[in-house]
Amino acid sequence: MDHVFIEGLRIEALIGIYDWERRVRQPLVFDIEMAFDNRVPAATDAIGDTLNYKAVSKRVIAFVQASDFGLVETLAERVAGLILDEFGVRRLRLKLSKPGAVRGARAVGVVIERSRDEAADA
Ligand SMILES: Nc1nc2c(c(=O)[nH]1)N=C([C@H](O)[C@@H](O)CO)CN2
């Protein structure tokens, strides 16, 4: 299966379980790999036939900037759900990193894999 990916998408967001985390935006980094049959756009050379990574990125940025969750698990699930629902993606892998959240670690976070049938109700 082919993929379209977005790597290292950095977005500032309200995220975290502690009181101080309710007040300051923290950087998050998304790596998203989306299953998509790229043979059609390869044949037509038409942007309208692609899974447009710029359009997906803009939607994810808007959602994450407006979000306010406690857990990275919740945010990852919601972002995965909107990509599956709104962009006709059948399957994806999403890594959500929270750099600097744990002293001594470059980043912490979650990796999830979801298909349309497995996505949590949002
Ligand atoms: N599995 C998780 N563990 C932790 C989370 C989380 O979202 N998922 N969050 C925190 C705190 O918000 C932390 O990031 C603050 O440094 C701790 N553990």
Q: Which two tokens stand for residue 74?
A: 């919740």
Given 54, 58, 95, 98, which residue is catalytic?
A: 98
> Which pLDDT tens digit goes with each residue over 85-95?
999 999 999 99
ipTM of the complex model: 0.96
> Which pLDDT tens digit goes with each residue over 53-94?
999 999 999 999 999 999 999 999 999 999 999 999 999 999
> Domain 3-115 has what CATH class?
alpha beta
Q: Does the C-beta of 73 come closer than 6 Å to ligand 1?
A: yes
List the domain boundaries for the chain: 3-115
CA 37 from centroid of its chain's CA atoms: 19
Question: Using CA atoms, how far apart are residues 81 and 116, in angstroms rounded to an integer?
Answer: 8
pLDDT number for residue 118: 66
Question: Using CA atoms, how far apart are residues 33 and 39, in angstroms rounded to an integer?
Answer: 17
pLDDT reading at 120 higher than 70? no
Reply yes or no on whether 95 is catalytic: no
Q: How far is CA 16 from CA 39, 44, 68, in A?
A: 41, 44, 8
Indicate the pTM of the whole model. 0.95
SS3 state at 31: strand
